[in-house]
Amino acid sequence: MIKYTLQCNDGHVFEDWFASSSKFDELSANHELSCPQCGSTEITKTIMAPNVASAPAAAPAPSCAAAGGCSNMGCPAMQG
């Protein structure tokens, strides 16, 4: 038995078990698969993507370590 994550042409994602990968192809070709949410028979196998956590995009807050050299008027280093 093999479990596939499937998606209909309406974007509904669901999972189903098949005896083999060729069995899925057979059922799909014969439109014997249907979406449990909308009944669509346009079912495709989704690519099983590994769980890769995307790296945080936020850059670290700029630190004003340039004492006396900061030209930013809003910089806390300019307040005193």
Rank residues 26 and 34 by Cβ distance to Zn ion and give the closer one: 34
Q: Is 14 in the site for Zn ion (CB under 5 A)?
A: no
Q: Is 12 in the site for Zn ion (CB under 5 A)?
A: yes
CA distances from 26 to 12, 16, 30, 66, 68 (A): 21, 14, 6, 67, 73
Using CB under 5 A, which of 13, 38, 75, 78 touches Zn ion? 38
Q: Rounded to an integer, what distance in angstroms lies between the CA atom of residue 64 and that of residue 75?
A: 7
Rank residues 15 and 79 by Cβ distance to Zn ion and give the closer one: 15
Residues 15, 4 contacting (CB under 8 angstroms): yes
Q: Is 32 in the site for Zn ion (CB under 5 A)?
A: no
Rank residues 5 and 37 by Cβ distance to Zn ion and give the closer one: 37
